[in-house]
Amino acid sequence: MHLLLLGISHRTAPVEVRERIDFQARGLETALHALASRHAAAEAVIVSTCNRAELYAVCEDVAATREALKTFVSEYHGLERDAVSPHIYGQVDLEAARHLFRVAAGLDSLVVGEPQILGQVKEAHNAAGAAHTAGTLLNRLFHASFGVGKRVRTETGLGSGAVSVSFAAVSLAKKIFGDLKGLNVLVIGAGEMGKLTALHMKSQGVSQVTIVSRTMAHAARTAEAIGGAAAAPMEELDALLGRADIVITATGAATAVLTRSHIETVMRPRRNRPLFLIDIAMPRDVEASAGDIEQVFLYNIDDLQATVRENLARRASEVTRAETIVNEEVDKFGQWLRSRNAVPTVVALRQHFEHVRRSELDRLASSLPPETRARVEDITRLVIEKLLLTPTEQLKAATDQDLSTSYADALTRLFGLETKPAAHEHTHHEDRSQRRDRKVEPFVRPGPR
């Protein structure tokens, strides 16, 4: 079985493509059930954030599964396959594991070291658990990625300080205005991203931070959590836009919250006073053409790339240490993966030796007194264990190339073994009593929802 990754991210696709490939829109479990119904892979997890959409799958035929996943991505989102394919990247086996480890560590994020991604990776794994699409291999892979994220955060300074997209938005505002003191800031969106942005703005000494949300109670709770911020209902948006110097949008809306015509209306009474819009939502909250209006300066999440590059330069030494941790954990995962691949041969070898031992004991049974037979049982079992110790260790330490061309094949031919896939190849993450009670399919088909 192989591990396959297919995805798009801020490194390969512009924002207008990424915002259309959003598995969170209908829920990760719904997307996983849709994928499961196609029987494209034995296991699957979908990681979907504002800057990436990645599918991790376990399969036998990499080429066929790659094509099936590409088709799924395009059809699920109603996009032409040719419009999606140029932006898709893929990795196999340990390189796929390395990619996930770097994602969990914050090394592949728009803002290197940002802390939110590890929680999003955990959320993706939880969704796969709820949808019954994560099995032995992906459970091990994702738990290993959690360990990588934790190590990077505790053993390096990569995550120190404010390194979120919210902070990058504030950094952009400071480049525009210099000192932010005395400015009026409007944050549209009372979720975590809006809250973090408001906190960063408040720390810069702005005159006023106002939180606007469709749900007034939600806006009020967020304002209270920040301390010193005001809350307002969406009905007051036009008046607040008229007074704001900086507007940061971070809602979860499926369509634009601020259209070009809306901004044109707001700008008329401002008398050429500039309005700076920073759209950090995905999908975007502000129509792109709004940036063409005179005295309107619109920036979206892709415009934060310059801030990211500066962040990366400052953290170069920490990135190196984090990459070393990733390499160490990839090696550990590779050892586990190789030992798992060796299981069929190890099992077949033990079964072969045990068959020979039992056959000889049965042949001698009539000539051995009971007490002698019991002693011979113990001695022969111990001899078998010692004979198998070195071959077992060699198999588990062998590389994938070794397993396919030398050790496993040599043992199979030498002893006439018949190896079968390990029993756990297609089982899901459940306790042993459950596995004894029922047969588990590669995917649990989605039931009525």
Assess contact for 213 and 193: CB atoms under 8 A. no
> Whose CA is closest to 53, among 89, 97, 92?
89
What are the φ/ψ torsions at residue 20 (nearest 5 degrees)? -90, -10
What sections of 178-304 are H helices per DSSP? 192-203, 216-226, 237-243, 260-267
Which one is catalytic: 31, 47, 50, 220? 50
Fill in the DSSP letter of residue 230: E
> Whose CA is closest to 7, among 70, 65, 121, 89?
89
Q: Tell me how far apart the alpha carbons of residues 403 and 228 are, in angstroms, rounded to a whole number.
A: 64
Beta strands in 154-286 (DSSP E): 184-188, 208-213, 230-233, 246-249, 275-279
Query: Which are the contacts of 257, defined by CB distance < 8 A and separation ≥ 6?
Result: 188, 249, 251, 281, 285, 286
Whether residue 50 lies in the annotated active site: yes
Alpha carbon distances (Å) from 114 to 55, 120, 174, 357 = 21, 11, 19, 59
Structure tokens at 125: 């794994």
Residue 221: count other Cβ atoms within 10 Å of its Cβ.
16
Query: Which are the contacts of 258, defined by CB distance < 8 A and separation ≥ 6?
Result: 188, 247, 249, 277, 285, 286, 287, 290
Q: Is the peptide bond before 283 cis (omega within 30 degrees of 0)?
A: yes
Helix, strand and coil percent figures for the chain, each rounded to 5:
60, 15, 30
Three-state secondary-structure class, residue 198: helix
Assess contact for 104 and 118: CB atoms under 8 A. yes
Q: Tell me which amino acid residue 328 is.
A: E
Query: Which are the contacts of 201, defined by CB distance < 8 A and separation ≥ 6?
Result: 170, 173, 180, 185, 187, 209, 246, 248
> Whose CA is closest to 59, among 75, 34, 39, 73?
39
Q: Which residues are catalytic?
A: 50
